[in-house]
Structure 1
Amino acid sequence: MRAQLTHSLTYRYEAPVQLGEHRLCLRPRAQGHQHLIEHSLQITPEPSHSHDLLAASGDAIQRVRFFGPTDALRIQASSLVVTHPAAPLLDCFNGLEPPLPYPRRQLNQDLLGALEGWLPNGQHDPSAVELAQDALMGSNQQVLPFLHQLMEMIQDRVKYTQRHAGPAWPAGRTLRERIGSCRDLAMLMTECCRSVGLPARFASGYHLADPAPQSYDLHAWTEVYLPGAGWRGFDPSAGGEITERYIVLASSSKPDLTAAVCGTFSGPPGTVSELSWLIEAMVESESGQDHEPSLIQAA
């Protein structure tokens, strides 16, 4: 798949403010099954300082600083991305996949951070552990049946809903409320996978569905590390493995580190800010013709 993406965000402030440092995760991943052909970033007001960095996850992140007051911040990221289908997982395993739960001693030490629980004491949420155990019972302790059984059970127990504001909910709250956004379901699946020894992390990006919807939005899913196959994406909101129509922006063991834009501002007490955004995607069809772009705009 070949896609031209434009992601625009505008922050407006009711009074002039001083912008703090901002962290931007708007550059699509450039390795693996995804290739970044072109990328540009326009920021108004122009930053007084900007530098790229390689995050712990391997993603390209940009940090910017500003000088002087402003009543608006405008960011526009334009990217041309080409994606390719991943090799079938069964071909990667070659019949040598060990049963679950995975023993930690067989994992690369670099992956241990993707096994930790999110409770304050570092333990896994008991409700997520229970859900994972239920999925194990119906999968004969095999990894692919477990992942598909887990996604099926998440969809059965949690109703998907859109929720644009706020961080991802802990797994226990999502199961208790029986409702959640894509990032809530992704966090739930990540926690369940970790509890059975599968390294897992939170991923954020775009899902350019076919046929194209009337609007696109940021999306979240889970990446699971599978020996012989590497990091592979699974979308509990859709109930399946991700395809070449998913474009990754950022992934992390901590969901808040995948936010497209994260920063601060200071101004008069009680200053109100307002965010509007627009995501536009032009996807090349199988015949080589371009689809009409899909948009999302919100205030």
Structure 2
Amino acid sequence: MLFTIQHRTTYAYSGLVRLGPQRLRFHPRCDGAQRVISHGLTVHPQPQGWNEHLDLEGNRITQAWFAGETNRFEINVQMQVETLRRNAFDFVLAPEALVLPIPHAHDAVSVQAYLHRGQPDDAVTVFAAEQSLAVERETVRFLERLCRHMFETFEQIHRLEGAPQTPFETLRTRRGACRDLAVLFVDCCRAEGIPARFASGYQRGNLQSDRRDLHAWPEVYLPGAGWRGFDPTHGTALADTHVTIAAAAHARDTMPVSGPFVGPGATSRLDFSVQIQVAEGSPQAII
């Protein structure tokens, strides 16, 4: 699929402020599942300087710093991205990954961050074990069951602001926004010995919707398959319907904009606009 995406983010301040260095995550990842055809980013006010770099987890960061004062901070992004994966299960698992828990004798150092549970909760551990035992601890069947079960039994809500809920809170209430479901899914996978991380970006979704937004979902690392996405908001394994911008062990490290501002008593108001067009086929075929 060919995604054409326009994304505007605006912070309006109640008074004049000085912007500290800002970290922007708006550049899609380039991997076996997607490739970036074009990408443009503009910022107002004009930065005094900026640099492009990769963070520890391979996400592309634009760091911008500013001089002077402003009452508005605006980021405009335009991009075209081709998603490449047609089959969500086009892999052959390594033998040691067929049944849970997955041993990590050869990559123990690399996977530590993706197996770490910040505040393990017994209820979440039991919930994950129930889903795993129901499919005889088979890895792929567990992931499919967990994804489908959360889609069918949890209420999906839309919540524009705020950090993700704790896994326990989402499990207790059986409701949450996409980022809440993603965090719970990640914790369940880690409880069962599957490295997992939080991903954010864009989804095909309902192209007729008047209000589009960033989306969040979990990814798991499977020996023999690499990183693979599952979306409990929709109950499906991911192929070519999502564009990944950032993925990290912790949700905070995927935030599209992070950075301080300083101004006496000043507050900020966030506004955004996302437009997504999707065409079937490759760019060459579409042209």
Match of 1:151 in 2: 147
Alpha-carbon offset, residue 59 of structure 1: 1.3
2:257 equivalent to 1:277: no
Alpha carbons of structure 1 residues 275 and 227: separation in structure 2 relative to 1, 3 Å: same
Q: Report if the CA contact (8 A) 1:8-1:279 is conserved.
A: yes
Alpha-carbon offset, residue 51 of structure 1: 0.9
SS in 1 for 2:146: helix
- What is the number of equivalent residue pairs in this alignment? 285
Alpha carbons of structure 1 residues 61 and 216: separation in structure 2 relative to 1, 3 Å: same
Find the partner of 1:182 among 161, 175, 178.
178
CA–CA separation in structure 2 for the residues paired with 1:207 and 1:236: 13
Alpha-carbon offset, residue 81 of structure 1: 0.6
Deviations 1:115-156 (A, max 9, x none): 00022xxxx222221111010111111111101111233234
Match of 1:6 in 2: 6
% of aligned pairs identical?
A: 33
Match of 2:250 in 1: 254
**Aligned AA for 1:162?**
H
Alpha-carbon offset, residue 84 of structure 1: 0.8
**Aligned AA for 1:244?**
D
**Aligned AA for 1:18?**
R
CA–CA separation in structure 1 for the residues paired with 2:83 and 2:151: 27
**Aligned AA for 2:209?**
P
Match of 2:158 in 1: 162
CA–CA separation in structure 1 for the residues paired with 2:268 and 2:236: 37
Alpha-carbon offset, residue 31 of structure 1: 2.0
Equivalences for residues 1-299 of structure 1 within 5 A: 1-85=1-85, 89=89, 91-93=91-93, 97-119=97-119, 124-209=120-205, 212-269=208-265, 271-285=266-280
Q: Report if the CA contact (8 A) 2:156-2:176 is conserved.
A: yes
SS in 2 for 1:117: coil
CA–CA separation in structure 1 for the residues paired with 2:174 and 2:48: 46
CA–CA separation in structure 2 for the residues paired with 1:34 and 1:90: 15
Q: Report if the CA contact (8 A) 2:152-2:235 is conserved.
A: no
Alpha-carbon offset, residue 239 of structure 1: 0.7
CA–CA separation in structure 2 for the residues paired with 1:87 and 1:289: 21
Return 5+ residue gaps in structure 2 as ranges. Answer: none
Alpha-carbon offset, residue 106 of structure 1: 4.9
Alpha carbons of structure 1 residues 211 and 51: separation in structure 2 relative to 1, 3 Å: closer
Alpha-carbon offset, residue 96 of structure 1: 6.6
CA–CA separation in structure 2 for the residues paired with 1:229 and 1:86: 14
Compute the TM-score of the two structures, normalised by the length of structure 2.
Answer: 0.93
More displaced 10-residue stretch of structure 1: 98-107 or 171-180: 98-107
Deviations 1:184-227 (A, max 9, x none): 00000000001111000000000012665343211000000011
Q: Report if the CA contact (8 A) 2:98-2:140 is conserved.
A: no
SS in 1 for 2:99: coil
CA–CA separation in structure 2 for the residues paired with 1:90 and 1:97: 15
More displaced 10-residue stretch of structure 1: 11-20 or 152-161: 152-161
CA–CA separation in structure 2 for the residues paired with 1:91 and 1:191: 24
Alpha-carbon offset, residue 90 of structure 1: 6.2
Alpha-carbon offset, residue 284 of structure 1: 1.8
CA–CA separation in structure 2 for the residues paired with 1:145 and 1:8: 39
RMSD of the TM alignment (CA)?
Answer: 2.0
